[in-house]
Structure formats: structure tokens, C-alpha cells
Amino acid sequence: MSLGEGMKQFDLVGKSIRLIFEENILAVLSDSSLTVVSSAFYNGGIKKTKVIINAQVPEQYNDEHLHQDPERFIQKCFHSLKLGDSADDFVGMITFAVVGAFSLVSMRQGDLAVSVVATGGCTHGESAGEKIDAQPATGTINLIIVIDGNPTETCMVSSVITITEAKSAALQELDVRSLYSGNQATGTPTDAVVVAKTGRGSEIVYSGPASPLGQLIACCTKQAVKEAIAKAPIGGYPLGRPFKKRLEERHLAFGKLSAELAKVDCLGKDEKGIAKELNRLLDEDPVFSSWLFLAAELSDEFEQKRNPWQFGDAKDLALKFGKLLSGQEGAEKMCLQDSDCVDLPVFIKYTLIAILKNRFSGKKN
């Protein structure tokens, strides 16, 4: 298969297997047929193919337009590559993520090798098992895994579990949050995966995370997903992002914090003044942000019922936490007076009340 002008090409594991990128299309091309197991919407399932496509949907396509005839769109993308008739039975995925921000990770151990190509964004991150109101096409994490080896059909299906675990581990390490709940995300509603093998070498039976093949798959997948999500222009989660942004991802937007704290009498019910001081502290005081981050984690512990029994009641402990920060003997009484109407996670609530009470009283934390 000859390549058109302007295409960028990258070598994958295995002989004569390449990744190409042109405009809105990523494609894996193989001179020999690959055996594929996939959840791709076009020719998904178990197939033989020489071409795997991951195509970015142009901005002018909306969800309704795309869903009316997605096959036409992916076929148009395939024919634009001008690969000829030898590769007409391709496997295709689509995404609204920027495919040019893909990540490619390859590893080899002896005669066994794996390449993973990841694209993605997490504008619609979700936590599996929670209620999801819609099935948007935006924010998809698409993965292509190429194995230069000979796993059995069952082994390839099993590898999808390992891939999914590695993807979720990557999102956990980036602290990606669900759009719908603010909880830790496990993926997006429209993720897709393609696993392809060359069939070379001895038969491989196991691909769990502790097996040699599973180790390669998991390491490549986790690294590729982290890189792709961290640098995604849309829906990206870069490392070191501001804590104010991370609070928003937990459904604790700056405006909500200020509005809820303005309900507290001892803070003067001055929403603008509270917003100004809170903004200053988040931007300038790493100690304050550290306390608030700890408060957010403690709130999660109680909300998810992971807290040890020795912690006792959440409200009692949170009040003592606020008292510790404020250094005031009357902090518990102060917090109890008018905080019940504040709709914030319990440790966030009392941490902010205690710290801001001291700030507005002209005292140091």
C-alpha cells in the first residue's frame, strides 16, 4: 500500500506495520493481515484486516448528524487514504478528540512486543455504575493495541480486561473526575478498543496483568493513556493543574464555594468579599490549598464510606478539624451556629469557615 503525500508515518512493533497520521485520521497499516478483536463500531468483533482507522469527527458534525450515518463518515475517511482495493475490509473507530495529540508507546520483551496508540479527552468522564443522563460522542478514549505475537482468541478477549484496568489506573493517577458526579472517573461513555495480533511465534494463553503479555499491554496502555489525556487540547487533564481547577472537577466550583459560604453569619454574608479572599488564598497560599485538598480527600473518605471506624462521626471530626486550623477554642461553637444551611462536603465546609473566619478577624492560621 502506497502512502499519499503529506502523511506522517511511525513504525510499530512487528515487520511492515506502520502508524500514519494525516489531517483527521490515524491509521494502522499492515502488509499482512492482522487478527483483530475490537469494540469498534465499524467491522467490530473478530475480524481479519490490514487497516485500522481512528478518525476525528470535524467540528461541523454534531451528534445527531454523525449518528444518522456514521458508516458513511468512516468510509469517506478510509477512501481519502487512497490505499487501494487490497484493504477494503478495514476496522474503524471515530472520536471527537484531537487525534493529532495521540500517544504511541511500544515495548518489547524477547520475541514478544506490544504497541499502543491512544487518543482521548475526558470532557465526559464517568464512573462506571453511576447514573449517566446522555451518551455523548465527545471525550472518547480510543485505544489500538498491536501485539507482535500469537495470543489465542480467548487470550485476546482477556487482554481487553487488562487494557481497561490499565486505562482506569491511568485516569486515577491523573485524578480524572466524572462529569456527572465529580467522583473518580473510570472512563468515558463512548470508549473503544481494538486489539490486533500478527500471529507470529508460539501460542500465548494468558494476558492477565501478571503475565508477560499482560505486563507489556498494561504498561504501554497506562503510559499511552496518561500521555494522551494529559496533553489533549480539549478535555485534557495535565499534571500540576491548579487546585482551583481540580475543585471544579469535583463539582466544587469557585462560585459555588463563595455562594455557600456567604450563608454563614460569622463570615459577614459578603459573597464578593468571600470570593475575593478565597480566590487570593487559592492563588497565593499553598498551605491553604494543601489543607483544602486534605479536606476534600477526607470528605471523599466519608462519602464513599471508606473511613475507619475510629474516625467516628463525620461532623464531629470535621468540627475538630476546623478548630485545629483556626486555633480558636470557640471554633466548634462558631461552626455550629449557622453552617447547617451550607451545602458543601463536610470537611470542606468547616475547613473554609474556620480559615476564613480567622482571615476576616485579622488573625493568622
Is residue 291 classed as helix, strand or coil in its secondary structure? Answer: helix
Question: Does one domain contain both 59 and 126?
Answer: yes
Question: Does one domain contain both 128 and 271?
Answer: no
Of 364, 362, 319, which is closest to residue 337 (Cα–Cα)? Answer: 319
Q: What is the CA radius of gyration of the chain?
A: 25
Question: Does one domain contain both 143 and 41?
Answer: yes
How many angstroms separate the CA atoms of 234 and 52, rounded?
Answer: 24
Domain count, the chain: 2
- Banded pLDDT at 304 (limits 50, 70, 90): confident
Lowest mean pLDDT among 88-97, 210-219, 265-274: 265-274
Q: How far is CA 304 from CA 186, 208, 221, 301, 327, in A?
A: 15, 28, 28, 5, 29
pLDDT at 49 over 50: yes
The string of pLDDT tens digits covering residues 232-267 is 998 889 988 888 899 999 999 889 999 999 988 878
pLDDT at 93 over 50: yes
- Banded pLDDT at 94 (limits 50, 70, 90): very high
236 in any annotated domain: no
DSSP characters for 162-195? HHHHHHHHHHHHTT-B-TTTSSBP-B-TT-EEEE
Whether the CB-CB separation of 42 and 77 falls below 8 Å is answered with: no
278 in any annotated domain: yes
314 in any annotated domain: yes
pLDDT at 204 over 50: yes
pLDDT at 45 over 90: yes
Per-residue pLDDT, 329: 54
- Banded pLDDT at 87 (limits 50, 70, 90): low
Per-residue pLDDT, 105: 97
pLDDT at 14 over 80: no
2 in any annotated domain: no
CATH of the domain at 50: 3.60.70
Question: Does one domain contain both 162 and 69?
Answer: yes
Question: Does one domain contain both 150 and 294?
Answer: no
Question: Does one domain contain both 71 and 202?
Answer: yes
> Which residues have CB under 8 Å from 90's CB, separation 6+?
42, 43, 49, 50, 51, 52, 53, 78
Question: Does one domain contain both 67 and 150?
Answer: yes
Per-residue pLDDT, 217: 98
How many angstroms separate the CA atoms of 260 and 267, rounded?
Answer: 11
The residue among 202, 231, 260 that closes a domain is 231
Per-residue pLDDT, 363: 47
pLDDT at 15 over 80: no
Per-residue pLDDT, 211: 97
Question: Does one domain contain both 216 and 125?
Answer: yes
Q: What one-letter code names the amino acid at 110?
A: G
Question: Does one domain contain both 164 and 265?
Answer: no
- Banded pLDDT at 269 (limits 50, 70, 90): confident
The residue among 231, 251, 278 that closes a domain is 231
Question: Does one domain contain both 201 and 224?
Answer: yes
Question: Does one domain contain both 188 and 313?
Answer: no
Per-residue pLDDT, 85: 59
- Banded pLDDT at 322 (limits 50, 70, 90): confident
pLDDT at 331 over 70: no
pLDDT at 280 over 50: yes
Q: What one-letter code names the amino acid at 258?
A: S
pTM for the model:
0.89
- Banded pLDDT at 362 (limits 50, 70, 90): low
48 in any annotated domain: yes
Per-residue pLDDT, 2: 46
- Banded pLDDT at 334 (limits 50, 70, 90): low
335 in any annotated domain: yes
* Average pLDDT rounded to a whole number, residues 64-85: 79
Of 196, 180, 354, 160, which is closest to residue 266 (Cα–Cα)? Answer: 354
* Average pLDDT rounded to a whole number, residues 44-61: 90
The residue among 174, 197, 231 that closes a domain is 231
- For 252, the domain range is 243-360
3 in any annotated domain: no
Question: Does one domain contain both 221 and 256?
Answer: no
How many angstroms separate the CA atoms of 291 and 258, rounded?
Answer: 17
Q: Is 187 exposed, middle or buried (0-12, 13-18, 19+ CB in 10 A)?
A: buried
Beta strand ranges found along the chain (DSSP E): 8-11, 17-22, 25-38, 45-56, 91-95, 103-109, 112-119, 142-148, 150-151, 192-197, 203-204
